[in-house]
Amino acid sequence: MRRLACLVLLAAAPLLIGGCAAMAVAPIAAIAYKGASKATEAARPITDSEEYYVGRAVAARILGKYKLDQNPKLTQYVNEVGETVARKSSRPNPFRGYHFAVLDTQEVNAFACPGGIIFITRGLIQTCNSEDQLAAVLAHEVGHVANKDGINSISQARWTEVWTAMGKEAVTMYGGSVAAGLVSLFEGSIDDVFKTIVVNGYSRQAEETADAAALTELTKAGYDPSAMVALLTALEAKGKGASSGIFKTHPPTSERLARVKTSVGQSPAESQGEKIRTERFKKMAS
Amino acid sequence: MRRLVGYSKFTRYLLALGLALVLLGPAVCWGEVLKVSQPNQSLYPDPDFASPPVGPVPEGAEVNVERQAGDWYKVEYQGKTGWLNRQAFPPPATSSKFSLGGLLTGAPVKQTSSDEVALAGKGFTPEVESGYRAKHPEMNFAQVDRIESLRVDSATLQAFIQEGDLKP
């Protein structure tokens, strides 16, 4: 038995002696990935970091269509309002946090990229009359991120293909070019998400859920949830006869308005805090 | 099992240690210094993104690895200890080293496509994004980086919330 123990130790010796030395040559990250070379990574939901990389590419694609607003004060302000509501959402801390940006266009719209980058257009900011209404828009978009609506718009068939590509068999399947195969699937996923959020819009149910989430976020953050009613009323007036931007990608505003009205009670009298918020909004949005 | 009773405690300890090392391989190397290769990384008090970050760790920073738990590394950086996600680090280098663990557990002997397999196993990663960017140079990732670089610090946000009579 003593001989057996010696043999086992002898076999382990290179690990004891050379383990750390070998690590100094190969980055430790190699260890982190040792589980990744399993023959097949079982079908799994998309991870937060994968969602983040898809979101970055969707954002880059949106920035190919719209110009980024260059007013740093307005961007900072939108981020402050956005962060205030995002921290009250059901997903307060996505992979690398929420980031809000303004698009320099008069089109009335807002986009939630998977992972936490949220765009609002100048046109939509100007449609709002107060900080509480701006908060309502951002809370709705945060709701889409929290519900993973963007990432869920990647077609099931494509994601199944990604799972397949994540297996060792993929080396054979893609003729040894898994990287190219994954880039191509990544590209397709960006198309799916972009098409959904910019062209076709989310499902009616996803919009209803995002509206409900926004009301919760607004209330928890101390904003007046009835600002959502005021915002939708303004949007309804602006959208009469319009068929582009937010009016194309969202369910009819009248439907949303009716639903939100039933969830929100009477609008309270304007508080001192709300006055201050509206003042600072007007200063920024002008 | 009865046969082991006849051996000294020391022999049994050595046997267990040797077997563990052979089977597990070099899973963790304490004291390793690792360079952060990705921007916008943060140190977390727990291995969980939901916990509020302890502080940022810039790209290029060197951290001392204390241990590993799944996708997370417990590290020390500038006197602070916390957890960094594996995304902070570079992808593994090509390795053609002899693997005793692999030999014993039947891991693939053929190494030529190990990079490809490892890459595939990770799904959508910075490497895949790089491939996408190379294919689409017209995409404005520089502006996306700019958007991500803006962070409202916690003191500013608190002041903003307080001024607007909002809830912290």
Instruction: Respond yes or no on whether ipTM tops 0.85.
Output: no
Inter-chain CB proximity A28 and B118 less than 8 Å: no
CA nearest to B164, candidates A222, A132, A81, A277: A277
Q: Is the pTM of this model over 0.90?
A: no
Identify all chain B residues contacting A27, using CB atoms and an 8 Å cutoff: 34, 89-90, 92-93
> Could you tell me which of A114, A105, A111, A92 has the C-alpha nearest to residue A216?
A92
Conformational region of residue B57, where left means phi above 0, alpha means psi within -120 to 50, and beta covers everything else: beta
- How far, CA to CA in Å, does A78 sit from each of A41, A95, A103, A211? 40, 20, 12, 19
Inter-residue contact A222 to B166 (CB < 8 Å): yes
Long-range contacts at A187-191 (CB < 8 A, ≥ 24 apart): A187/B132, A187/B135, A187/B136, A188/A158, A189/A54, A189/A154, A189/A158, A189/A159, A189/A162, A189/B124, A190/A54, A190/A57, A190/A58, A190/A61, A190/B132
| Residue B109 contacts A where some CB pair is shorter than 8 Å | no
pLDDT at B22 over 50: no
pLDDT per residue as tens digits for the range A165-193: 666 555 445 444 666 778 888 888 888 89
Q: Does B144 sit within 8 Å of A32, measured CB to CB?
A: no
Three-state DSSP at B61 gives coil
- Residue B162: its pLDDT value, please? 96
Put simply, the answer to whether B150 touches A99 (Cβ < 8 Å) is yes
Domain(s) of CATH 2.30.30.40: residues in chain B? 25-90
Cα–Cα distance for residue pair A182/B55, rounded to 1 Å: 33
**Closest by CA position to A141, among listed A116, A105, A122, A108:** A116
Q: What's the pLDDT score for residue B128? A: 86
Going from the C-alpha of A259 to that of each of A107, A232, A265, A284, the distances in angstroms are 25, 11, 12, 31
Amino acid at B21: L
A223 touches chain B (CB under 8 A): yes
List of chain A residues with pLDDT < 50 = 1, 4, 6-42, 171-172, 174-176
Interface of A with B in 257-276 (CB under 8 A): 271-274, 276
Contact B116 A93 (CB under 8 A): no
Helix, strand, or coil here: A231? Answer: helix
State whether CATH 3.40.50.720 applies to domain A48-151+201-285.
no
Q: Between A227 and B106, whose confidence is greater?
A: A227
Selection from B123, B147, B132 nearest residue A111 by Cα: B147
Where is A110: in which H helix or E strand?
strand A110-112
**Interface touch A28/B29, C-beta < 8 Å:** yes
Residue B124 has pLDDT above 90, yes or no: no
- A199 and chain B in contact, CB less than 8 A: no
For chain B, give the mean pLDDT: 71
The pLDDT of residue A241 is 59
pLDDT surpassing 90 at residue B105: no
Query: Would you kindly state where each structural domain of chain A is located, as residue ranges?
Result: 48-151+201-285, 153-196
Residues 24-83 of A with CB under 8 A from B: 24, 26-33, 35-38, 41, 46-50, 53-54, 56-57, 59-61, 63-64, 68, 75-76, 79-80, 83
pLDDT at position A73, please? 96
Q: What whole-number distance in Å separates Cα of residue A220 and Cα of residue A282?
A: 23
Count CB atoms within 10 A of the CB of residue B161: 18
* A&B contacts, CB < 8 Å: 252
Class of domain B25-90: mainly beta
State residue A101's pLDDT score: 98
Within 51-90 of B, beta carbons closer than 8 Å to A belong to 51-52, 65, 68, 71, 73, 85-87, 89-90
State the pLDDT at residue B9. Answer: 67
pLDDT digits (tens, 9 = 90+) for B41-97: 788 888 765 456 788 888 889 999 998 876 678 999 999 999 887 777 765 443 333
Contact A111, A118 (CB under 8 A): yes
Six token digits for residue A256: 């949303």
**How many CB atoms lie under 10 A from the CB of residue A148?**
18
- Which residue of chain B is at minimal alpha-carbon distance from A178? B116
Write phi, then psi, for B48 (nearest 5 degrees).
-160, 125
Structure tokens at A211: 């509206």
> How many residues in chain A?
286
Residues A257, A229 contacting (CB under 8 angstroms):
yes
Evaluate the CA torsion angle B156, B157, B158, B161 in order and state its sign: positive
Report whether A186 contacts B132 (CB < 8 A).
yes
**Pairing mode of beta strands B62-69, A117-121:** unpaired
